[in-house]
Amino acid sequence: MGQKGLHVALYGERGVGKTSLANVLSEIFHNQNLPEYRAVMINCNTEDVFDSIWRNVFRELHLALEDDASPEDVRYHLSRLDPPAIIVIDELDRVEDDDSLSLLSDTVKSLSDRAVPSTLVLVGVAGSVDELIGEHRSVERALVQVEMPRMSLSELREVLERGFGEIGLTARPTALNKITALSEGLPHFTHLLGGFASERVVADDRNEVVLADVDAAIDRAVTTHTMRSAYQTATRSTRADNLYPDVLLACALAAKDALGFFSAGAVRDPLEIVAKRRLQIPAFARHLKQFLQPERGSVLYRTGEPRRYFYRFANPLLQPYVILNGLAENRITDEEVAELQGIDFTSESPLEQRRLF
């Protein structure tokens, strides 16, 4: 960034810290010995089109834009900005209008070709740049592609310790371990659980976060989280002995590949622990299939072919949520989760990275 003609696409899973990084990037620009820059950030929504996106940007820049702006109009105005700007367009994944995304990549190309000094940072939930702005070969050379991965256990621990430290708290190693292990690489959960745990400590007039604070934070997180309704839609049933909650929890605990995919076979071991009896695939295949259906919120996504299907949580936030909920509802113990995840978070020693999912 800061190099004329190059713009940035920052993408990754939901909740990995994209918006936070985009914020820090613009702060760095403000602080370093770089030429003076302005920074603006806007969020997109499902109704947004090319014109409304740029109208929002220009409003932030205190400039007016004529009606029906074209990529050339945008380039013209940006090329006259003094000082130049870092323009973060966040939540681009929410824009539904494909033509608007095409116009946006034309804009990137046009800004780049004419070496306009302002920098665009396109941010959103996506697995690739193509998924973020559509396939536009011509724009690739003009975009620095930054994929935001999940955070490591030690990074999450740092996030927590820094957060607690800022409000004068310390934390027991077991409390740190439990939060970081259950966050599954997503700072979203680290922040949430750390916040709830520290509120409890402060309310009690203590200064050390202990395991009981984390457990109370988990109880609070599962009842207030936006994933709660997705969880309920996926698992509801009129029969008290239904298997949906157990199968979904077993899916959340199943061994996964680097992309978060698991097979039906991988559900058996965790399901044996959760359901307290060994079930073979035919006994829960119906449940897996149901989780793909809109009536159950399409909480799982499936790829592959019959007999070789692979499943993944459609929303990556739901998987850690389901485990937290399983702990809150005593469907599973800390020790069982630790064993299945291969991360012994019940010990006092700092956790080693084994696998992220």
Ligand X SMILES: Nc1ncnc2c1ncn2[C@@H]1O[C@H](COP(=O)(O)OP(=O)(O)OP(=O)(O)O)[C@@H](O)[C@H]1O
Q: Interface residues with ligand X (CB under 6 A)?
A: 14-20, 125, 159, 187-188, 191
User: Smallest distance from the beta carbon of 157 to ligand X, in angstroms?
Assistant: 11
Q: How far apart, in whole angstroms, are the C-alpha atoms of residue 248 and residue 291?
A: 8
Q: How far apart, in whole angstroms, are the C-alpha atoms of residue 203 and residue 274?
A: 35
| Per-residue interface string for the shown chain with Mg ion, residues 8-37, x marking contact by CB under 5 A | -----------x------------------
Using the minimum distance from each CB to ligand X, give the nearer residue, 227 or 275. 227
Using the minimum distance from each CB to ligand X, give the nearer residue, 28 or 255. 28
Q: How far apart, in whole angstroms, are the C-alpha atoms of residue 284 and residue 15?
A: 30
Using the minimum distance from each CB to ligand X, give the nearer residue, 14 or 289. 14
Q: Cis peptide before 71, with omega less than 30 degrees from 0?
A: no
- CA atoms in the 13 A half-sphere facing the CB of 317: 20
User: Smallest distance from the beta carbon of 45 to Mg ion, in angstroms?
Assistant: 13
User: Smallest distance from the beta carbon of 91 to Mg ion, in angstroms?
Assistant: 6
- Nearest 5°: CA angle at 227, between 226 and 231? 140
User: Smallest distance from the beta carbon of 170 to ligand X, in angstroms?
Assistant: 18
- CA atoms in the 13 A half-sphere facing the CB of 193: 37
User: Smallest distance from the beta carbon of 25 to ligand X, in angstroms?
Assistant: 12
> Among Mg ion, ligand X, none, what binds residue 20 when CB lies within 5 to 8 Å by partner kind?
ligand X
Residue of this chain nearest to ligand X (CB atom): 17
CA 97 to chain centre: 23
User: Smallest distance from the beta carbon of 280 to ligand X, in angstroms?
Assistant: 37
Residue 8, number of CB atoms within 10 A of its CB: 19
> Among Mg ion, ligand X, none, what binds residue 159 when CB lies within 5 to 8 Å by partner kind?
ligand X
Q: What residues contact residue 216 under an 8 Å CB cut-off, 6+ apart?
A: 196, 197, 200
> Among Mg ion, ligand X, none, what binds residue 268 when CB lies within 5 to 8 Å by partner kind?
none
Using the minimum distance from each CB to Mg ion, give the nearer residue, 235 or 315. 315
Extract the tokens encoding 351: 């956790």
Output phi, psi for 171, to 5 deg: -140, 140
> Among ligand X, Mg ion, none, what binds residue 191 when CB lies within 5 to 8 Å by partner kind?
ligand X
Using the minimum distance from each CB to ligand X, give the nearer residue, 15 or 260. 15
Instruction: Tell me which amino acid residue 84 is.
Output: P
Q: How far apart, in whole angstroms, are the C-alpha atoms of residue 149 and residue 5?
A: 26
Q: How far apart, in whole angstroms, are the C-alpha atoms of residue 281 and residue 264?
A: 7
Extract the tokens encoding 1: 């960034």
Using the minimum distance from each CB to Mg ion, give the nearer residue, 19 or 233. 19
- Tokens 């947004």 belong to 48
Using the minimum distance from each CB to ligand X, give the nearer residue, 149 or 265. 149
Q: Does 43 bind Mg ion (CB under 5 A)?
A: no
Q: Does 102 bind Mg ion (CB under 5 A)?
A: no
Q: Does 174 bind Mg ion (CB under 5 A)?
A: no
Rule CB under 5 A: which residues touch Mg ion? 19
